Amino acid sequence: MEYTLSMSHELSEQEILRRQSLEELRQAGINPYPAALFPVNSYADTIKSSFEATPENFTDVCLAGRIMSKRIMGKASFAELKDSSGRIQLYINRDEICPGENKELYNTVFKRLLDLGDFIGVKGFVFKTQVGEISIHVRELVILAKSLRPLPVVKTDAEGNIFDAFTDPELRYRMRYVDLIVNTTVKETFIKRTRMINAIREFLNSQGAFEVDTPVLQSIPGGATARPFITHHNTLDMSLYLRIANELYLKRLIVGGFDWVYEFSRNFRNEGMDRTHNPEFTILEFYVAYKDYYWMMDQTERMLEEVCLDINGTTEIPCGEHLLSFKAPFRRITLYDAIKERTGHDVSGMNEDDLRAVCKELHIDTDPSMGKGKLIDEIFSETCEKHFIQPTFIIDYPIEMSPLTKKHRTKDGLVERFELMINGKEIANAYSELNDPIDQYERFLDQVKLMERGDDEAMFIDHDFIRAMEYGMPPMSGIGIGIDRLAMLMTNQSTIQEVLFFPQMRPERLS
């Protein structure tokens, strides 16, 4: 569906009335957008949770927020105020907020010129109504910002049917600001996402990890196999790439003497969009000297178990129709065994032609640019990935799939790599990192050959990274964890757009 962005749109009847109200407020000497500080000292949720225990603390409160409803009852009225924490009822008496000769101002301003969505500030004291609702008895009311567009107002009929709910995903993602106002659970999702990131950061910091920043604009898009976005720097007159990964820069820091570094990295990949992919996304990567992928598996399952407990209070969380358990340890199975388990094919000794034949039998599309690694990856993705619901480490990948990974210490042709699969999707990717500069250079050359065959996701040669390795790179393990996908799991969301404030969208058509 295509939506029109109306910059000079024809105003609706309600919008015309709101603009008229705006002018009337100004004519009455009321600034609808005052610049003065409003001294907020209380919030709705704090008042509701603490008033009964300590009523003496709420004799002089000052709140600000949007009007979400109002009921005019002669000289006394009720309204609902929504601030950043929640909603609370206001009791407004005309004779108190507009005493004496100013009583007519109440009829003009509050009754007629204040609309749902307007920002107001109130001062007063807290009390309980006769029906037991904690409310604010308003003594002062000021307008802080006039709303010129009406909010979607959800209505429910006698049978419980809901009307006019703001539920269209296209509109919700484009106008997240409206979504956050009217759909209360949306804000809770993003609060939980931030708590998840903070819990991860606290875990890493407690283990001695050091948080760093690395470049977003890079001259070579390294650290992953993905199609990059290209931009241009005018002063240097050179093409630059938005980073697809921060791996190679973090490894340079390990060369420089740090033992454990991490970064919450905003990455960009010029790829398709679906319920688990957005071209701009967040990855946590960390690298630890003198460790291997066995250690990294132990550390990862321990970290995720603690994070899940911290934000959900349990290691078992609902995810769609499944109940996921983040209780360590997680299952471990080799890539080849996973493929054999699901397809019956042992692909461990197959060459490229054999793999193409398997793909044909399994009705998996291929193209001439795909090498052995890509073909194995396609077989796993199409036949196995969706079946790993509970957290599972897929381990020991073919060397062709992993140009930055150390060769397996006991298994020829494999590397020490794992991917963490949860709910049918990859959540993390980790290695015992390759630290042999000669081996690394040869693998970069293999990537160039794939690029020449038409693989636009193959890696460039990063000569400076090779130079850094030649100064000596200690053994290490590294991991990348998809923060957006992990947030989907922790908040029980089925699409990545639900955990991104502003997901990528097609441009709106200007009218």
Tokens at 404, concatenated: 């930055």
Residue 147 pLDDT more than 80? yes
Coil/strand/helix, residue 272? coil
Residue 153 pLDDT more than 80? no
Position 3 scores a pLDDT of 43
Position 97 scores a pLDDT of 81
Domains defined for the chain, CATH in brackets: 4-156 (2.40.50.140), 185-330+456-510 (3.30.930.10)
**pLDDT-based confidence at residue 403 (cuts at 50, 70, 90):** confident
Q: What percentage of the chain has pLDDT greater than the value 90?
A: 78
For the segment 479-497, what is each residue's pLDDT rounded down to a tens digit? Answer: 999 999 999 999 999 999 9
The DSSP result for 187-199, as a single string, is HHHHHHHHHHHHH
For the segment 27-84, what is each residue's pLDDT rounded down to a tens digit? Answer: 988 999 999 899 999 999 999 999 999 999 999 999 999 999 999 887 889 999 999 9
What is the average pLDDT across 270-287? 94
Position 240 scores a pLDDT of 96
Other residues' Cβ atoms within 10 Å of the Cβ of residue 460: 16
Helix, strand, coil shares of the chain as percentages rounded to 5? 35, 25, 35
What φ, ψ does residue 192 adopt, rounded to 5°?
Answer: -65, -35
Position 2 scores a pLDDT of 43
Residue 160 pLDDT more than 90? no
Higher pLDDT, 369 or 5: 369
Position 401 scores a pLDDT of 83
The mean pLDDT of the chain is: 91
Tokens at 489, concatenated: 């799991």
Residue 310 pLDDT more than 70? yes
Q: Which of 226-230, 300-304, 412-416 holds the top average pLDDT?
A: 300-304
What φ, ψ does residue 220 adopt, rounded to 5°?
Answer: -130, 125
Give the residue from 467, 470, 462 showing the smallest Cα distance to 219: 462
Residue 458 pLDDT more than 90? no
> What pTM value is reported for the model?
0.89
For the segment 99-122, what is each residue's pLDDT rounded down to a tens digit? Answer: 655 666 767 788 889 999 999 999
Higher pLDDT, 456 or 392: 392
For the segment 327-340, what is each residue's pLDDT rounded down to a tens digit? Answer: 999 999 999 999 99
Position 457 scores a pLDDT of 75
